[in-house]
Structures are given as structure tokens and as C-alpha cells.
């Protein structure tokens, strides 16, 4: 019995210590919870971007000669734009990127009614076209029997009743195909080597030296701090590159010696040539500088080597998202991915190995990475030049801030937001998938509304003041209605412009219209989709979050941060822009009117109008006239909203001239 008591005592003590260690909590709890939503969310977002772009561009089909049956069939049934070209040399045209897919079908010779699809596995567009065409013909295999009959008048045998069979011919060269196999994993491994190479050195040179007190002695020497930082950054880069070179050399030698034959086609040795290694090395340089400076910056947040390692772990996993996305089947550098650091370099390495690399993704990708690396280097040098960033003990102010959660509104808001976000993702999203109405009600009232109230309660703040539960006066109520009536068309217009850049996938549109729930009455729909979100989301975002943040920050950052959080909670890249803009406007309304009620009215109105306007008119009808209609209303509404606070400020300034300007920061709390 005594043993168990002792074990329990030790357990409770350790548990108490662990629960007070923010870093362990992040590493052991928050990070494992966040990793999948972030990794899969990030990956699917990147894939969506790519897919959206392809669906807009359409596909190019090559046929040996004009064939009305096939061309009409594809044009009528395929939901994306199709262009047809004709040549006898189908394979060559695919290799030369003159078409995405080649279709050959000899319909007159029974029984060989095969549909031959020529494609190349080394091009994303070709793989996409293959998938589309294959699906189309597979679904209509039997329909083609009728079409064959037209050609088979002279002969009569059973073969004409045989449905269409589909065969494939990959025109990618051996080099492309074998490179394809190697390229599936190698770039990812190299990126991980760079990240781990940088992280070990960064954590030792920054967090480790901080712990050992070496920084203090170094920084009291006449050497300039910036030079110390750049000197250290160079060695972090160097050590990561040494790791990369060692890895490449080992790969090269192993390939030369023929220890392995990944491809079965003896072309591996050819792929990993000196030129390939040189290009990979050069492309890795900006990436390494980016990793090195970022990791150094992060490690400066740790006091010891060990806590530095804990801090860097999540970053290592974050770097995996673009890297993993870029090695997914079908991802190519001729897409938007070339603009994303890490993903672009993995794609370039991958295509280099496959032998399909074009010059412009190489240049654009590297240019982007050089710019990103320069930006991060500047930020890191500036950040580490700040007093207290490298010498332990001098950052007492920030250390102590960690100790008092309740008194730090920013921390309450950020942690609260993460909890709500996780709750939405893990609990509410599955619930909504199961039962939409119940799920929505629970999300809005059970999670969002309660989170808002808890945030205020936990800080021991006044509900009335923090949530701005003040009467906005007639001008506030009216202003909200006029403002939002004008703001929605403006947002829809810009959203429409954005949709051209970032096409909505069909799947998403379908999902959205499903969510409108045809079996619910209009009143129910309005209560569920307009009134409930209007009240609950406003209490959280424009009430608790805005009310807490403005204790610490001025108006602009509060509006920006609360607006972005509002956007992020909408869980979709396509709704991010609109929701964030509306978030900014609603937050401004609270400042302008000194009350949350106009924001609630505007939010309800916005959702109600969106429920009616979007399904009735559709986004395709949005044009410049919407702007002309919206902007005057926004101006008038804005004037009315700030009418009362402006008047009050005038009165106040007449009483005490020194109070002028306060309304900017505290208008809403009075």
C-alpha cells in the first residue's frame, strides 16, 4: 500500500510540474492535437489551389483525325473546357506538351473496340486529363454499343455488343518514369535533412549559448551584434549544407556502385549525375538560409538547449506540409505551388530528377525563395538585435507574462481562440456532418457563445463593459442596417474578383447549397443561419475577443486580429477573404458606435441577405454596379454609426480639452 502512495505522490508532483510547463503542454498536448488539422488542411488547401487552376484552364485532347462522335460526346459530358487537336503522331504530341491526352479508338474493327488513352505520368495536367476522360468513358461504356452499331451494319456478330474497354499508354520516357520513382521520396528526404541540420546547430548556438551564459560575454565585447548574428547564421547554414552534401555524396556513390536498383531500368545512375547534384545544391542555398534564420529566431525564445528543442519540434513538422504536398502524385511546378517556399523547391528537385524541369519554375521558385529568405534574415537580425532576446534574465518582462494567464488578455484571447478552433474541428465538424441542425446549434450556442462568456469570466471583467452592451441610439441601429446593406454587395463584388483568381471547386459549391437545407422553413433557416450566428459569433469576436484585446492594443491591431480570427474560424480558403473583411467591418462598428448591438444587427442582416441574394442571383451576376450601389450606403451607414460617439466626444472635449483623442481607443468601453 505504501508503495502505491509513494508512486501516487511522485505522480501528482510530476503532473503538477508538467501542467505548469507551457512548452511541454504545447509539445505533448496542443501540437499532437493540431498536427493533423494543420497537415491535412494545408495539404488539401494546396491541392485545391492546384485543382481549381486546372479546372479553369481545361484540357487539350489530341485525336488522330476528326471524330464527331468522340468530340461531341466529350464536349457534351465534360464539365470543364476542352480543346481538340488532330495529328497522327499522338505520343509525340503528348511528350512535346502539345496536348494533355491522346484518344485513339478504331470503332469499325470489331471486336477491338478499345479506347486507348495516351498520357504522360510526368505531367500533372496529363494525369488530370486522363482521370477525367477515363471516368467519363467508364461511366458510359454501354452507351457506346449504339454508336458501334452504326459502323457495324455489314457484319453481324456478338462483338458489337461488347462494351468499350479502356487501355492506357504512358508515353513518359524511361528516364522520366524511373526519375519519377526516385523523385517520390528524395526531395522530401533532402528537405528534412536541411531542416534537421539547421535545427541542431541553431538550437545549440542560440538557446544553448544563452543557457551557458556565452552570449553575455560575447555581447559585451566591441563586436557588433548584427555581425555576431550573421556569423552564427552562416555556421548554421554551413552545417546544414554539409549534411546535405554528405547525403548527396553517399547517394551518388551508392548509385555509382550499383548497390541498389530502384527502378529496375538501370537509369538511376544517369539521373543522379553531377549536374543534378549541382542544381539541387544551388537550389538548396536560399532554402537553407531561410530555415537557418527562422530556426535561430525561434530558438531565441528558449532559455535552454532542451526547451529550444521543444520549441523547434513543431516547426519541423510544419515544414513537412509543403514538402509532403509537393511529392503527392500529380503536383507540378507549373502551378501556384511554385510560389510557396519549400513546396517549390521540392517540385523543382522532383522534376529535375524526372528530367521534365523547365527553366521558368526553376527561376521563379528560386527567386521567391531568395526573397523569402532575405525577408526572414532581416526579421531575424532585427529580432535578435532587440534587447533581452539573447541574454537570459534581461527579458524578465516577457518571462513573467507567462506566469499570469488571467491578467493577460492577449494570451486569453489567443489560447481561447485555439481551443474554439480545435473544438470546431474535432467535435463540432463531425457533429454537423452527422446532424447539421443540431451540430450548428451546438457549435454556435454551446461552443462559440459559451467561449465568449468564459473568456470574459476568466479575466474577472465586467460583462457589460467588455461585451460593449450599450444602447447605440437610433443612429447606431439605423447605421448598422444601411452600412451592411451596402457592405454585402461590395464584399460580393470583391469576392467575385477573387473567385476569378481562385476558382471555387464544384464540390465546394455543391456542399454549400446542400447546407442550405431545403427541408427547413425559411423562418427556421433564418433563425439557424442568420440570427444564431449573428448573436453568438458577435459575443465571441466583437464582444469577448475585441473587448479583451483593446485593453492592451490600440484600435487598428484589434480590428485586424479579431477580423482575421473571424475569417480563420470559417475553415475555408474560399470564405476567408469575405469573412475577414466582414470581421474588420463589424469590429470597426463596435468602435464607431460604442456598442455591440449594431454589429449583431449587421451580422444577422448580412447572413440573411446572403441566404437570399446568393442563391437567387448567383455570384456570376456580380458586376461593377454592385460597387456603385454599395459604396454610398457604406459611407452613409458609417457616418450614422459614428454619429453618436462623435457627438459625445465633441461634448467631452468641450469639457476637458485634454481628453481629445481618447475615443479612438476607448470609445466602445464607455
Applying CB under 8 A, the residues found at the interface with other proteins are: 212-224, 387-388, 391, 393-394, 396-397, 400-401, 403-404, 407-408
Q: Residue 227 CB, nearest distance to other proteins (Å)?
A: 9
**Which residue lies nearer to other proteins by CB, 97 or 216?**
216
**Which residue lies nearer to other proteins by CB, 222 or 518?**
222
Q: Residue 382 CB, nearest distance to other proteins (Å)?
A: 16
Q: Residue 561 CB, nearest distance to other proteins (Å)?
A: 19
User: 647 — phi, psi (to 5°)?
Assistant: -65, -45
As a whole number of Å, the end-to-end CA separation of the chain is 61
**Which residue lies nearer to other proteins by CB, 547 or 563?**
547
**Which residue lies nearer to other proteins by CB, 387 or 519?**
387
**Which residue lies nearer to other proteins by CB, 211 or 354?**
211
Q: Residue 393 CB, nearest distance to other proteins (Å)?
A: 7
Closest to 252 (Cα-Cα) out of 265, 269, 266, 275: 269
**Which residue lies nearer to other proteins by CB, 101 or 302?**
302
**Which residue lies nearer to other proteins by CB, 3 or 400?**
400
CB 38 within 8 A of CB 418: no
Closest to 306 (Cα-Cα) out of 210, 169, 409: 210
CB 189 within 8 A of CB 291: no
DSSP string, 399-424: HHHHH-STT-HHHHHHHHHHHHHHHI
The C-alpha angle 342, 184, 334, rounded to 5 degrees, equals 55
State the DSSP code for 298: H
Q: Residue 458 CB, nearest distance to other proteins (Å)?
A: 15
Q: Residue 234 CB, nearest distance to other proteins (Å)?
A: 15
Collapsing DSSP to helix, strand or coil, 329 comes out as: coil
**Which residue lies nearer to other proteins by CB, 12 or 402?**
402
Q: Residue 346 CB, nearest distance to other proteins (Å)?
A: 35
CB 599 within 8 A of CB 483: no
And the C-alpha cell for 288?
Answer: 537553407
Q: Give the separation between CA 348 and CA 342, rounded to whole angstroms.
A: 10
**Which residue lies nearer to other proteins by CB, 409 or 486?**
409
Collapsing DSSP to helix, strand or coil, 168 comes out as: strand
Q: Residue 423 CB, nearest distance to other proteins (Å)?
A: 27
Q: Residue 215 CB, nearest distance to other proteins (Å)?
A: 8
205-217: burial string, b at 16+ Cβ within 10 Å, e else: bbbbbbbeeebee
CB 318 within 8 A of CB 390: no
Collapsing DSSP to helix, strand or coil, 242 comes out as: helix
Amino acid at each position: 500500500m505504501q508503495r502505491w502512495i509513494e508512486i501516487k505522490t511522485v505522480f501528482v508532483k510530476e503532473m503538477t510540474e508538467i501542467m505548469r510547463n507551457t512548452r511541454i503542454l504545447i509539445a505533448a498536448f496542443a501540437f499532437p492535437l493540431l498536427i493533423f488539422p494543420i497537415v491535412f488542411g494545408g495539404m488539401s488547401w494546396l491541392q485545391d489551389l492546384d485543382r481549381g487552376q486546372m479546372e479553369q484552364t481545361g484540357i487539350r485532347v489530341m485525336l488522330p483525325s476528326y471524330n464527331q462522335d468522340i468530340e461531341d460526346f466529350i464536349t457534351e459530358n465534360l464539365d470543364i473546357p476542352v480543346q481538340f487537336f488532330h495529328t497522327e503522331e499522338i505520343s509525340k504530341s503528348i511528350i512535346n506538351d502539345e496536348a494533355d491526352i491522346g484518344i485513339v479508338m478504331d470503332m469499325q474493327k470489331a471486336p477491338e473496340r478499345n479506347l486507348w488513352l495516351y498520357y504522360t505520368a510526368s505531367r500533372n495536367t496529363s494525369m488530370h486529363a486522363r482521370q477525367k476522360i477515363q471516368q467519363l468513358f467508364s461511366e458510359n461504356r454501354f452507351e457506346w454499343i449504339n454508336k458501334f452499331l452504326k459502323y457495324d451494319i455489314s457484319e453481324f456478330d456478338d462483338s458489337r455488343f461488347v462494351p468499350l474497354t479502356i487501355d492506357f499508354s504512358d508515353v513518359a520516357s524511361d528516364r522520366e518514369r524511373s526519375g519519377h520513382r526516385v523523385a517520390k521520396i528524395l526531395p522530401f528526404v533532402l528537405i528534412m535533412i536541411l531542416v534537421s541540420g539547421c535545427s541542431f546547430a541553431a538550437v545549440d548556438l542560440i538557446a544553448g549559448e544563452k543557457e551557458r551564459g556565452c552570449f553575455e560575454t560575447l555581447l559585451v565585447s566591441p563586436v557588433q551584434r548584427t555581425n555576431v548574428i550573421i556569423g552564427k547564421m552562416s555556421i548554421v547554414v554551413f552545417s546544414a549544407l554539409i549534411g546535405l552534401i554528405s547525403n548527396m555524396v553517399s547517394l551518388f556513390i551508392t548509385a555509382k556502385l550499383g548497390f541498389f536498383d530502384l527502378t529496375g531500368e538501370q537509369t538511376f545512375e544517369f539521373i543522379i549525375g553531377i549536374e543534378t547534384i549541382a542544381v539541387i545544391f544551388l537550389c538548396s542555398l536560399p532554402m537553407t538560409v531561410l530555415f537557418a534564420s527562422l530556426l535561430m529566431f525561434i530558438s531565441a525564445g528558449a532559455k535552454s538547449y532542451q526547451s529550444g528543442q521543444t520549441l523547434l519540434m513543431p516547426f519541423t513538422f510544419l515544414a513537412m506540409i509543403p514538402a509532403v504536398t509537393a511529392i503527392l502524385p500529380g503536383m507540378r511546378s507549373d502551378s501556384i505551388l511554385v510560389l510557396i517556399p519549400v513546396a517549390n523547391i521540392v517540385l523543382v528537385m522532383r522534376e529535375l530528377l524526372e528530367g521534365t524541369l523547365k527553366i521558368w519554375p526553376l527561376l521563379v521558385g528560386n527567386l521567391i525563395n531568395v526573397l523569402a529568405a532575405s525577408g526572414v534574415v532581416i526579421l531575424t537580425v532585427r529580432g535578435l538585435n532587440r534587447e533581452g532576446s539573447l541574454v537570459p534574465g534581461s527579458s524578465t518582462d516577457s518571462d513573467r507574462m507567462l506566469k499570469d494567464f488571467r491578467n493577460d488578455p492577449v494570451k486569453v484571447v489567443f489560447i481561447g481562440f485555439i481551443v474554439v478552433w480545435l473544438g470546431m474541428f474535432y467535435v463540432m465538424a463531425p457533429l454537423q456532418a452527422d446532424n447539421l441542425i443540431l451540430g450548428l446549434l451546438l457549435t454556435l450556442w454551446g461552443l462559440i457563445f459559451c467561449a465568449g462568456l468564459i473568456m470574459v469570466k476568466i479575466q474577472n471583467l465586467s460583462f457589460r463593459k467588455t461585451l460593449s452592451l450599450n444602447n447605440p441610439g437610433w443612429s447606431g441601429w439605423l447605421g448598422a442596417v444601411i452600412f451592411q446593406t451596402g457592405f454585402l454587395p461590395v464584399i460580393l463584388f470583391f469576392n467575385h474578383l477573387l473567385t476569378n483568381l481562385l476558382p471555387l471547386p464544384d464540390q465546394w459549391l455543391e456542399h454549400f447549397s446542400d447546407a442550405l437545407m431545403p427541408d427547413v422553413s425559411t423562418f427556421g433557416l433564418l433563425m439557424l443561419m442568420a440570427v444564431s450566428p449573428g448573436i453568438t459569433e458577435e459575443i465571441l469576436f466583437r464582444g469577448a475577443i475585441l473587448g479583451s484585446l483593446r485593453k492592451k492594443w490600440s484600435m487598428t491591431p484589434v480590428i485586424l486580429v479579431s477580423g482575421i480570427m473571424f475569417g480563420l474560424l470559417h475553415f475555408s480558403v474560399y470564405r476567408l477573404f469575405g469573412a475577414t473583411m466582414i470581421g474588420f467591418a463589424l469590429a470597426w462598428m463596435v468602435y464607431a458606435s460604442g456598442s455591440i448591438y449594431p454589429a449583431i444587427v449587421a451580422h444577422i442582416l448580412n447572413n440573411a441577405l446572403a441566404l437570399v441574394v446568393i442563391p437567387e442571383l448567383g455570384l456570376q451576376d456580380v458586376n461593377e454596379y454592385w460597387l456603385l450601389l454599395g459604396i454610398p450606403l457604406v459611407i452613409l451607414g458609417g457616418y450614422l454609426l459614428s454619429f453618436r460617439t462623435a457627438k459625445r466626444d465633441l461634448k467631452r472635449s468641450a469639457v476637458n480639452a485634454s481628453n481629445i483623442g481618447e475615443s479612438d481607443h476607448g470609445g466602445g468601453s464607455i
